Amino acid sequence: MFVEHNLIKNIKIFTLAFTLTVVLIQLSRFISPLAIIHSSYIFLAWMPLCVMLSILFIFGWRGVVPVLCGMFCTNLWNFHLSFLQTAVMLGSQTFVVLCACAILRWQLGTRWRYGLTSRYVWQRLFWLGLVTPIGIKCSMYLVGSFFDFPLKISTFFGDADAIFTVVDLLSLFTAVLIYNMLFYYLTRMIVSPHFAQILWRRDIAPSLGKEKRAFTLSWLAALSVLLLLLCTPYENDFIAGYLVPVFFIIFTLGVGNLRYPFLNLTWAVSTLCLLNYHQNFLQGVETEYSLAFILAVLISFSVCLLYMVRIYHRSEWLNRRWHLQALTDPLTLLPNFRALEQAPEQEAGKSFCCLRIDNLEFMSRHYGLMMRVHCIRSICRTLLPLMQENEKLYQLPGSELLLVLSGPETEGRLQHMVNILNSRQIHWNNTGLDMGYGAA
């Protein structure tokens, strides 16, 4: 019964992954931007590579066979090749991708598919964004030297000029670095519609909060107007010359105010529109060398955008750590008086009680600073079990602690704490310390 259940589950996963692979590969080929170099069509971004990576990211090793079958069927359907040619072409397209994913699985462990934009970003960027495109192109060159393909696709297997090969290689870089997450989010939302709500609440809705709503709406409006001008059929040298740099400036301004998934999605959609409707964006670009330069600029800015976001998040994390350290006593690790000043709302309606430790100053001069820290920590360990969940203990300058108590009978509870402290003796290096306590 258990084996039958697993078999049915695996068949369902295979059917879903295979269907998504076939449908999305055909869709990706349809929306992929094209250009003509030496009377031959070439992709400016080969998006079937994004589909393969998305299926592998979502389904893991269970997506290997559906990807192979889906690529085989789409190649057979689109190019009308023989069985041997289709199999060889499939190997050149998928072998390096599967090897790169296997290396990532070996390096990063079982969770190599999780946290794509937050954890192990540079390892994935190296193996999938650099090694994989180069490996695919080398595999296709190697296959093209031993097998003959129809004239329609022979230019992708080495039968073309060097600049054609450069643009073809840049199209693979563009697909991985710009459009990979776009297809990943699309595929994952198809597999699990609940992910759309998670993506909205986690990465998009915070940008539309009260503090950032005005900036986000203005940013989207400026980007929409700019795309409308750059993608319009009306050709103008001023639009191409002066508005294209503004396109990069707009995305740079969004680094510190928008989440990276939201920024990455808008960047992918924007570049897709520019490369498909490039009458103004590529105005004056009449040679394949200029086209290669444009693709290289988009790839470079994509990496820079990711790097800027990582640096910004790192600096924000350090600022939070420094702010937390500024609100904490460095020796006792208790909240200090500055933390009490910055939390008036949380402590409103509560009783503030001052606990004074007699002889602490004198003892610390005799036994040293570490004895003072040991005494305060021992007192905290004694008091914390007697305090409620929403009550706090603050470190004050000198020999005093501040207790923030809530609830009725605060005076009786405070006296009970003082009695417990007086009944217990603190030891330092096997020496009992005579400490006195007073509270108000």
Domain that holds residue 381: 343-439
d(CA 330, CA 255): 34
More confident: 200 or 288:
200
Find the mean pLDDT for residues 277-294.
73
Burial label for 106, CB within 10 Å (0-12, 13-18, 19+), is exposed
In whole angstroms, what is the distance from residue 322 CA to residue 330 CA?
12
Q: Are 75 and 133 contained in the same domain?
A: yes
Q: Give the bridge partners for 231, in sequence order.
A: none
Whether the CB-CB separation of 426 and 378 falls below 8 Å is answered with yes
CA distance linking residue 15 with residue 4, whole number of Å: 16
Whether 79 and 184 map to the same domain: the answer is: yes
Structure tokens, 137? 């192109």
- Domain end, chosen from 162, 192, 222, is at 192
Q: Going by C-beta distance under 8 Å and a sequence separation of 6 or more, which residues neighbour residue 297?
A: none
Tokens of 107: 């390096």
**Are 171 and 219 part of one and the same domain?**
no
> Using CA atoms, how far apart are residues 145 and 429, in angstroms rounded to an integer?
80
In one-letter notation, the amino acid at residue 49 is: L
Determine, yes or no, domain membership for 116.
Answer: yes
Query: Do both 44 and 168 map to the same domain?
Result: yes
| 420-435 pLDDT, tens digit each | 888 888 887 877 777 7
Looking only at the bridges linking them, the beta strands covering 426-428 and 431-433 are antiparallel
- Residue 338 included in any domain: no
Residue 335: inside a domain? no
- What single letter denotes the amino acid at residue 136? I
pLDDT digit string (tens) for 152-192? 888 788 777 788 888 889 999 999 999 999 999 999 999 99
Q: What is the CA radius of gyration of the chain?
A: 32
Determine the 3-state secondary structure of 328 from DSSP: strand
What is the structure's pLDDT at 283?
A: 62
Task: Please tell me whether residues 90 and 215 are part of one structural domain.
Answer: no
If one counts the domains in the chain, the total is 3
**Among the ranges given (96-100, 140-144, 383-387, 406-410), the one the predictor scored with the smallest mean pLDDT:** 406-410
* 348 and 322 co-located in one domain: no
User: Is residue 351 a part of any domain in this protein?
Assistant: yes
